[in-house]
Amino acid sequence: MTTRFDDPGASKTERLNVRLSPRQRALLEAASASEGTTISEFVLAHATRAAETALADRRVFALAPDQWDAFVAALDRPERELPRLRKLLESHTVLDEV
């Protein structure tokens, strides 16, 4: 899977050292072999994907143009009273007693 941070033409000059247990190394060897990659390629691809996923909700909000227009229109609409929601939010819960 190609990630946003992949740059096929760029040389890789940075290093990342990781200490791991024999069990973790064996697991990574087996997983990388199952995908036909080296351990380094496997770890880099999966760690990069995990990092992008962890950051995605904090940095990226992508919508198609028509979806963006609908989103902006919803934000611009005047507020409306929702009595049942207000009642729910104002009702006491077990957390109020803590």
Q: What are the structure tokens assigned to 93, written together?
A: 């819960």
Q: What is the rounded CA–CA span in Å between residue 44 and residue 65?
A: 33
Q: How many degrees, rounded to 5, is the angle at CA 35 between CA 31 and CA 41?
A: 80
Domain count, the chain: 1
- Its domain, for residue 29, covers 22-97
Q: Is the pLDDT of residue 3 over 60?
A: no
pLDDT at 23: 98
pLDDT at 2: 47
Provide CB contacts within 8 A for 38, sequence distance 6+: 32
Identify whether 9 is part of a domain: no
Indicate the pTM of the whole model.
0.54
Q: How far is CA 32 from the centre of its chain?
A: 22
Q: What are 30-81's pLDDT values in tens digits? A: 999 999 999 999 999 999 999 988 888 787 778 999 999 999 999 999 999 9
Identify whether 17 is part of a domain: no
Model confidence band, residue 27 (pLDDT cutoffs 50, 70, 90): very high
Identify whether 76 is part of a domain: yes
